[in-house]
Amino acid sequence: MVAAIQAPLLQYTLFYSSDDNALSLNDLSDTAIQPNGVNKVQTQTYNQAILAVAEAAQIALAESAAKQKAKRTSAQESHFLCAWLVEMFKVKRFPKIVANDISGWITLARSKGAGAMLPQLFDAIATQYRQVEKPAISQHQAVQELLAELETDDWFVIADSAFSNEPKTKLKLAGNGQSSLVVCEDQLAQHFEGDKLTKALPIYVRGDEKHFAQKALDKGLLVSPGNKKTSMIKHHKTYLIAPNNQLGELCLLVSI
């Protein structure tokens, strides 16, 4: 009998602060300032909002670079984007739904400088979220093709076993170190209505998560960052695929 271990999901940090430039979640509202200066009720999804941040950052960096005679160093680009993020936070350019991402990037840039890789981060976000805006196939077909393709890549794929929800033990999957993927047979059936995914689908993976995420992206799917605490399978991490790719948090980025 396989049982699920119930563990709290990863929580967002509610605020960022520093002695010289304090930022609080209260600095953002549910309204966004439009180019014409008019406040508009925010109706963006997380995906739309995070893509808007990434694309605006790309434009700001490109426009700033065009004004410079010499090519900027990575450290200078990071400093510019950090300052830009602080300013965007203060003027409420983006909605609360991405506040934790922005404050986290500011903290990262201030502590790591060029090591934060902000230009590469925004390029990766823009690339992945644009790629799934208009998927060519349904999520049901995408999941089925993902499982089949990983199996051809010599992954050990299990999709024909059902799990109980008793929160005490985990399944131990015997193997010889081969990359593996497990998805509950019942969830695979019940979380879809026809071709439409209606409830987040947990997928348990042991292996190269970037390879897994890239294969999913090729099928038009975003996957969440892995979570070992919520996994029902020993030595595996839980990754979620959400209806319409709306994870509500930053997806696992394949190129960062």
Mean pLDDT of 200-219: 98
Closest of 143, 153, 157, 140 to residue 204, by C-alpha: 157
What phi and psi values does residue 29 have, to the nearest 5 degrees? Answer: -125, 180
pLDDT at 37 exceeding the cut of 70:
no
pLDDT at 47 exceeding the cut of 50:
yes
Q: How many CB atoms lie within 10 A of CB 244?
A: 13
Tokens of 55: 């694309």
Interatomic CA distance for residues 50 and 102, integer angstroms: 9
- Crossing angle of helices 209-218/139-152, nearest 10°? 130
End-to-end CA distance of the chain: 38
pLDDT at 84 exceeding the cut of 60:
yes
Mean pLDDT of 29-54: 70
Residue 45's SS3 state is coil
Mean pLDDT of 15-38: 43
Residue 189's SS3 state is helix
Domain map (residue ranges) of the chain: 25-131, 139-245
Q: pTM score, two decimals?
A: 0.81
Mean model confidence pLDDT for the chain: 85
DSSP string, 71-125: PPPHHHHHHHHHHHHHHHHHTT-S-GGGHHHHHHHHHHHHHHGGGG-HHHHHHHH
Range with lowest mean pLDDT among 17-26, 86-95, 209-218: 17-26
pLDDT at 204 exceeding the cut of 60:
yes
Tokens of 77: 């680009």
Return all residues near 57 (Cβ < 8 A) that are at least 6 apart.
81, 84, 85, 118, 122
Tokens of 45: 């999804």
